Amino acid sequence: MSLVDLARAAEVTSKQQIAGTLRDEAAIEPDPVPSGEATKETQIIAIYGKGGIGKSFTLANLSYMMAQQGKKTLLIGCDPKSDTTSLLFGGRSTPTIIATSSEKKLAGDEVAIGDVCFKRDGVFAMELGGPEVGRGCGGRGIIHGFETLEKLGFHDWNFDYVLLDFLGDVVCGGFGLPIARDMCQKVIVVGSNDLQSLYVANNVCSAVEYFRKLGGNVGVAGMVINKDDGTGEAQAFADAVQIPVLASIPANEDIRRKSANYEIIGKPGGKWGELFAELGTNVAEAPPRHPTPLSHDELLNLFKSEDVGGNFSLEPATFEDMCGVDYVERPSLEVIYDQV
């Protein structure tokens, strides 16, 4: 065998070994969630909502205000976009737990708290992160991120409140982790007066009720209406599913401009300080409730028919429509036996 053939054979063997290692790693099930007694009564609250509805804006200002109210607060971004904490840090992104964990592993080092957790004016914040498009499962990334947090002592950390920012319009298992595994005590949904955000909020309520039937304990504490233009659909939704509205953040140009400039508006004494102070109190005190999710038609009925296409009826398609006007039906080759 020539040197070239030997080199090629070695390269093939190396690739096979790497592929085998990756398959073995992918087959490993996540560690079970610890079931022992917690060392501190920390309220862990998962906030869900449609992508772009304003969860990160709401949570950055909420966590800041809660810290100003004397509550030791940790904000964890659980969205692959890793932008939950950007507003806190003036638009600057923070190293994510998943990326940092991978880099440290390659270097043979362990992840430390200071590598992934950062603070501002009493708020502690971190990002789980996620894979790039097409390079992995975002839900699996969430699970891996929480496994890393547990290794860092997550269940022994001394916080009053832990706020988890989750994308609500992704339905794979990792994003439902807090509800499915009782990792939080309650859920808050963020929505607006539009069908898509309320569809997501309704799905989250459905997930909570589904896992309650399986023995889960998580409830829905309420809803935050963001970009409220006064049309009332979000309030009607909250009334219909029997959850309270914890705050209504108006559709306001001052809020939009300051948010775009990465400014915190939830400050004591500021123009919007009272709004976020009330939200902070409501989030802390609102008990978890059993929601009553709506059917799809009930959800659509919250909106005027011209807004959701209610004036249209469904016209069934025919096989001729699918195959063209020149379609000629052929005799079936199926053998049909007479019934005995």
* Domains of the chain: residue spans and CATH: 51-305 (3.40.50.300)
- Residue 189, strand partner residues: 48, 223
Q: Is 156 helix (H, G, I), strand (E, B) or coil?
A: helix
Which distant-in-sequence residues (6+ apart) come within 8 Å of 216 by Cβ? 179, 180, 182, 208
pLDDT higher than threshold 50 for residue 35: no
Query: pLDDT-based confidence at 154, cuts 50/70/90?
Result: confident
Question: Of 10-24, 115-129, 201-215, 287-301, which gets the smallest average pLDDT?
Answer: 10-24
Q: What is the pLDDT of residues 178-188, one digit of tens each?
A: 888 888 999 99
* pTM of the predicted structure, to 2 decimals: 0.78
Query: pLDDT-based confidence at 37, cuts 50/70/90?
Result: very low
Q: What is the pLDDT of residues 44-58, one digit of tens each?
A: 999 999 988 988 999
What is the C-alpha to C-alpha distance for residues 250 and 228, in angstroms, rounded to an integer? 4
pLDDT at 36: 46
Least Cα distance to 201 among 146, 251, 239 occurs for 239
